[in-house]
């Protein structure tokens, strides 16, 4: 009975009005842009629906280190730290608590010591360290699992004995 709303656009502060978040039971964040992620977190946590967020997956390789925690309890994740610092600096905070998928693993950024390739102004070396498909998939499936677990709790009034 799920209705999944998809949009063929990016969530940006300028496009946020296109997303009727008040109508959603669940809002899932998997945005990479710091500015857009912060905007969505602040906006989504004002909505009645449940909100879950993925923190940084770049430079992660060990799937056994992926975990879930409330946003303010996420440790060892540079993206979560940057978001918290931005909220503190701007004096704006999420209106409610929310869970995040993250990993404390932090591999060396191979682009830090690399020579600047031709066209570096367009594609700096640090941008070459993306995410690996196995950890990205686990982050996404964990987010889906959080939604399913929440739905199951809502339906947990079924007290049948197995």
**CA dihedral sign, ordered 90, 93, 99, 104:** positive
Average pLDDT value for residue range 153-161: 60
pLDDT of residue 123: 45
Say yes or no to pLDDT of 149 above 90. Answer: yes
Say yes or no to pLDDT of 58 above 60. Answer: yes
pLDDT of residue 57: 84
Q: Which distant-in-sequence residues (6+ apart) come within 8 Å of 121 by Cβ?
A: none
Per-residue pLDDT tens digits for 106-120:
887 766 555 555 554
Per-residue pLDDT tens digits for 87-142:
999 999 999 999 999 999 888 776 655 555 555 455 454 555 566 778 888 999 99
What's the mean per-residue pLDDT of the chain? 85
Q: Which distant-in-sequence residues (6+ apart) come within 8 Å of 51 by Cβ?
A: 26, 27, 28, 29, 41, 44, 45, 96, 98
> With contact defined as beta carbons under 8 Å apart, do 35 and 148 qualify?
no
Beta-strand runs (E) in 42-154? 50-54, 66-70, 99-103
Rounded to whole angstroms, how far apart are CA atoms 56 and 157? Answer: 35
Least confident of 71-75, 95-99, 104-108, 156-160: 156-160
């Amino acid at each position: 009975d799920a209705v999944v709303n998809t949009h063929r656009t990016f969530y940006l502060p300028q496009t946020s009005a296109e997303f009727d978040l008040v109508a959603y039971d669940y809002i899932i964040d998997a945005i990479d842009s710091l500015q857009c992620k912060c905007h969505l977190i602040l906006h989504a946590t004002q909505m009645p629906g449940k909100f879950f967020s993925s923190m940084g997956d770049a430079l992660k390789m060990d799937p056994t280190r992926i975990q879930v925690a409330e946003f303010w309890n996420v440790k060892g994740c540079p993206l979560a730290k940057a978001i918290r610092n931005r909220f503190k600096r701007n004096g704006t905070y999420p209106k409610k608590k929310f869970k995040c998928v993250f990993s404390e693993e932090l591999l060396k950024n191979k682009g830090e010591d690399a020579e600047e390739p031709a066209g570096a102004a367009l594609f700096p070396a640090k941008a070459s360290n993306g995410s690996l498909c196995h950890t990205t998939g686990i982050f996404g499936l964990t987010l889906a699992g959080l939604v399913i677990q929440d739905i199951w709790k809502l339906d947990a009034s079924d007290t049948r004995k197995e």
